[in-house]
Amino acid sequence: MRLDRFLSNRPDLNRQDARLHLAHGHVRVNGVPTMDGRYEIREFDRVELHETLLQAGKPARYFMLHKPPGYVSATQHPEHPTVLDLLNEPDKGDLHLSGRLDLTTSGLMLITNDGHWSRRLTLPKTKLPKVYYVETADPIQPEYVQAFADGLYFKFENLTTLPARLDILDERCARLTLIEGRYHQVKRMFGHFRNQVMRLHRESIGPIRLDSALTPGDYRQLTADEIACGLSTQTINAVP
């Protein structure tokens, strides 16, 4: 909600009062005098008028989790444990997953209560590279590299996948960088060559890398730098 609206919604202030308080610099957001009524107030902002606290601002929370296989990327599931079961945090109902991984996939998951932040990370136009380590049943052929770079046609969605980068590491393992997240995308891309994915592990999302100190099931808070790179995400048009 805009700051001017937030102020004038209070029973003790009308629109004129709100405008005057703003113009005189009486309103502080997160400790900073703010005169722009168009400022979008979020639930995490602390808002004060003179010495009166109007909104305390709840803490924004950001975590990275090393998802083990066998956990569902959901907040609740009738059959399987969920990734949220791995968190020992209060108010877990406020948290949501920023992107998903299949039941059998392991690796980096981001979890937060900041919807604005996670939307920026997952918006298709952000085109944030996601890096996966892949092991397959059959040898990975050199022709996959060009096919993945050109894009593969997915009949169900009637679309061609965006250019993806495949680095073949060994006969049956590779690193794949995608800038989108279609349903079962990695498995379907290898499935195009009738090559089954046996192991799939997400190593990074944009500049945020899974911390090698985290064993499967562990998690930690994101650092200020990691949070900031999510917020300053720019549209990246090409796979690096």
Active site members: 102
Phi-psi region for residue 220, left (φ > 0), alpha (ψ -120 to 50) or beta? beta
43 near ligand URA, rule: CB under 6 A: no
Q: Which residues are registered as beta bridge partners of 205? A: 130, 208
Interface with ligand URA includes 83 (CB under 6 A)?
Answer: no
Number of shown-chain residues binding ligand URA (CB under 6 A) = 8
String of contacts with ligand URA for each residue 198-227, x by CB under 6 A: --x---------------------------
Does the protein bind ligand URA through residue 186 (CB under 6 A)? Answer: yes
User: Which residues, in sequence order, are CB contacts of 90 under 8 Å at separation 6+?
Assistant: none
Distance CA 94, CA 70 (A): 23
Q: What's the token pair of residue 7? A: 């102020």
Residue 187 touching ligand URA (CB under 6 A): yes
Inter-axis angle of helices 115-122 and 224-231, to 10 degrees? Answer: 60
Minimum distance between the CB of residue 156 and ligand URA, rounded to whole angstroms? Answer: 14
Amino acid at 163: P
- Least Å from the CB of residue 140 to ligand URA: 15
Among 118, 185, 195, 233, binds ligand URA (CB under 6 A): 185
| C-alpha pair distances (Å), 78 with each of 75, 81, 84, 191 | 11, 8, 14, 29
Alpha helices (H) along the chain: 3-8, 15-23, 115-122, 143-150, 185-191, 224-231
Binding of ligand URA at residue 105 (CB under 6 A)? Answer: yes
| Residue 176 binding ligand URA, by CB under 6 A | no
Nearer to ligand URA, 3 or 101 (CB): 101
CB of 198 to ligand URA, least distance (A): 12
DSSP 211: P
As given in the structure block, the two tokens for residue 95 are 């948290």
Which lies closer to ligand URA via its Cβ, residue 21 or residue 130?
130
Which residues would be at the binding site for ligand URA (CB under 6 A)? 101-102, 105, 184-187, 200
